[in-house]
Chain A
Amino acid sequence: MQHALEGSQAIARAVSLCRPQVVSAYPITPQTHIVENLSKLVADGVLECELVSVESEFSAASVALGAVAAGSRAYTASSSQGILLMSEVLFNIAGLRIPLVLTCANRAVSAPLSIWNDQQDSMAVRDAGWIQLYCADNQEAIDTTIQAFRIAEQCELPVMVCVDGFTLTHTLEVLDLPDQQQVDEFLPAFSFARRLDPANPLSVGTLVSPEYFTETRQDHHQALLDATAAIVQAQSDWLAISGRDTGGLLRCEGPDDAATGILTLGSIAGTLQEAIEEQGDAAPARLITLRAFRPFPEQALRDACQGLERLIVLERALSPGAGGIVGTEVRAALGVMDNPPQIFNFAVGLGGRDVPLEIYTHLLDAIAKGRGTGFDILDLDTGKLPAETS
């Protein structure tokens, strides 16, 4: 049924439809409204769930870990510094193969302090061993949240659903919220085989000696690689129920014969799509929106880039001292193609800088001037740099 909802409200309703038994979180902008809305659903008696208030994100993640280990479906959400304060626990959750769902309301990381959107936070924990799915809009945020629980529980891996802070979390728009029956049909009740149970004692998180550590890492790596199938399956099963295509590993739009491709992730995709459409036949482009960043869908990416002469990778974070994070991985993945496209890599929209509709023409101008062949920040205002570096 269609509603006019704020992104955070919609995500909370989607989480609630998944019948979590434990929600634990600590407020941080721009994640706050998600948990606030969940707390209201609990208070109103809509959602029967243990809502655990904690004193920090470290504890929020720890409570969620323990809840899942004890056999409950659990959920948490955070942003920015909160994600980083959780980071030790995030690695533990993944290593213990705890199927938890977390929403990251993407926000820049301090210092300097910024409450606004970029994707530095989730990118900083990309190696924690979680599945990471990025949402292009709030409808995808609803649908991906629901799929995330199934993917997590099927793969025994945690899933981080990444939604751009403010740009999605604080945007009210017309959204289709599934009904409870649809979600129940898609998502079976959670049953955790390795549940902590006094009647059947087992130890988790024990010391692992060098004799076995390597194999546990390989096992975890393989589980993430294998999760691509579960991500694709969850999408197609949800499509059959909801009628909506959220894209599996990635989404490809635009003409098959376009020479230019643009790859991005998150909410820039919608603006880019309209910008490309405005150019019409004058400058056609294929828009590739990466949904799964972990596991990194190498083969799907190569398939999506077939026939392209150039690919622009546009991301909302960077690795200082190296350059693009997504761009570097895309270069490695496409390097083995017979005729790989030339790759350009830009960061844009850091710390909430607006990404305007002119983004597409700015990109085309920039590559025509030879920028982005390595890595550049597209919307940099050199006039604001200190004199010695400008």
Chain B
Amino acid sequence: MIEIRIHGRGGQGNVVAAYLLAGAAFEAGRYGQAFPSFGAERRGAPVTAFVRISATPIRRRCQVRQPAFLIIQDEALLHVPGVLDGLHTGGGILVNSNRTPDELDITTGHELITLPASKLANETLGRPVPNTALLAAFLALTELLPQQALVKALAERFKGDMLERNTRLVERAAGMVPAGRWQEGDHAARA
């Protein structure tokens, strides 16, 4: 089983990101579980969501405390206490940022990869919602599930032009990170 934690802010599609990833797992014939941990229900407030992907049914419902990967939808959250807590040794952090990891100037002890996801979304969807681009990049990095599974999960939520734009965004974002970079990592959580 692989456990992933997604950090974002209310309004960024954080919970939808988690649902899409678990939905993609289902489309790829795996079991997926996704749920949010809401704070205050308002735009801008930090929101955390959890994803589990497994070949077998998932019964535990506790929050993910030791994720193999972190997906951060807002680079400022890197400085919020607790956001990096529990990340596995060798785990990766994917951050929505227009800057390079060096420019972020933060020491995490983990590999950090950035993607200008809001910018890509703004250009492709016309809205700066970073979740689809980050998920596509995450799947490209980990090769955990085929991109087609993400597109199928998107098709459960979007139709017509918006689905077509999201599909283009998947292709674009997936090509912007080193493919399979996190595939061989010694992630203790990998089952």
Instruction: Give the interface of A toward B (CB within 8 A).
Output: 2-4, 6, 29, 115, 137, 166-168, 170-174, 267-268, 270-271, 273-275, 354-357, 359
CA distance A174 to B23 in the complex (A): 8
Q: Is B18 interfacial (CB-CB < 8 Å)?
A: yes
Q: Is B61 interfacial (CB-CB < 8 Å)?
A: yes
Contact of B32 with A4 in the complex, beta carbons under 8 Å: yes
Chain B 1-42: CB-based contact to A (< 8 A → 1; otherwise 0): 000000000000001001100110111000111111010010
Q: Is B99 interfacial (CB-CB < 8 Å)?
A: no
Contact of B59 with A137 in the complex, beta carbons under 8 Å: yes
Can you list the 10 inter-chain pairs with the closest CB atoms, starting with the nearest?
A270-B59, A4-B26, A171-B35, A4-B23, A274-B60, A172-B34, A172-B19, A354-B63, A271-B60, A356-B62
Q: Is B58 interfacial (CB-CB < 8 Å)?
A: yes
Contact of A273 with B18 in the complex, beta carbons under 8 Å: no
CA distance A355 to B59 in the complex (A): 13
A174 — which chain B residues lie within 8 A by C-beta? 26, 31-32, 57
B41 — which chain A residues lie within 8 A by C-beta? 29, 115
Pick the contact of A172: B18, B38, B59 (CB < 8 A): B18
Contact of B61 with A270 in the complex, beta carbons under 8 Å: yes
Contact of B33 with A172 in the complex, beta carbons under 8 Å: yes
Q: Is B186 interfacial (CB-CB < 8 Å)?
A: no
A275 — which chain B residues lie within 8 A by C-beta? 60
CA distance A273 to B59 in the complex (A): 8
B63 — which chain A residues lie within 8 A by C-beta? 354, 356
CA distance A170 to B57 in the complex (A): 18
CA distance A3 to B58 in the complex (A): 15
CA distance A227 to B190 in the complex (A): 46
How many Å from the CB of A152 to the closest CB on chain B? 28
Q: Which size bracket describes the interface of B in this complex? A: 20 to 34
How many Å from the CB of A47 to the closest CB on chain B? 20
A271-B23 contact given A170-B35, A172-B32, A174-B32, CB 8 Å threshold:
no
A359 — which chain B residues lie within 8 A by C-beta? 62
Instruction: Give the interface of B toward A (CB within 8 A).
Output: 15, 18-19, 22-23, 25-27, 31-36, 38, 41, 57-63, 65, 153, 156
Contact of B62 with A172 in the complex, beta carbons under 8 Å: no
B22 — which chain A residues lie within 8 A by C-beta? 4, 172-173
B153 — which chain A residues lie within 8 A by C-beta? 4
B26 — which chain A residues lie within 8 A by C-beta? 2-4, 174
How many Å from the CB of B189 to the closest CB on chain A? 13
A270-B31 contact given A4-B26, A172-B23, CB 8 Å threshold:
no
A357-B33 contact given A166-B38, A172-B23, CB 8 Å threshold:
no
Contact of A171 with B59 in the complex, beta carbons under 8 Å: no
How many Å from the CB of A261 to the closest CB on chain B? 18
How many Å from the CB of A70 to the closest CB on chain B? 37
CA distance A234 to B22 in the complex (A): 32
Contact of A166 with B36 in the complex, beta carbons under 8 Å: yes
Contact of A271 with B36 in the complex, beta carbons under 8 Å: no
Residue of A nearest to B152 (CB): A4
10 A–B contact pairs at CB < 8 A? A29-B41, A166-B35, A166-B36, A171-B34, A172-B32, A173-B32, A174-B32, A174-B57, A356-B65, A357-B60
How many Å from the CB of A39 to the closest CB on chain B? 18
A357 — which chain B residues lie within 8 A by C-beta? 60, 62
B32 — which chain A residues lie within 8 A by C-beta? 4, 172-174
Interface-centre pick from B19, B33, B41, B59 (highest chain A CB count, 10 A): B59
CA distance A115 to B36 in the complex (A): 13
Residue of A nearest to B40 (CB): A115
A166 — which chain B residues lie within 8 A by C-beta? 35-36, 38
How many Å from the CB of A363 to the closest CB on chain B? 14
A2 — which chain B residues lie within 8 A by C-beta? 26
B60 — which chain A residues lie within 8 A by C-beta? 270-271, 274-275, 357
CA distance A3 to B18 in the complex (A): 16
Beyond known contacts A172-B18, A173-B34: 12 more, CB 8 A cutoff: A4-B19, A4-B25, A168-B61, A170-B36, A172-B22, A172-B32, A173-B22, A267-B61, A271-B61, A273-B59, A354-B63, A357-B62
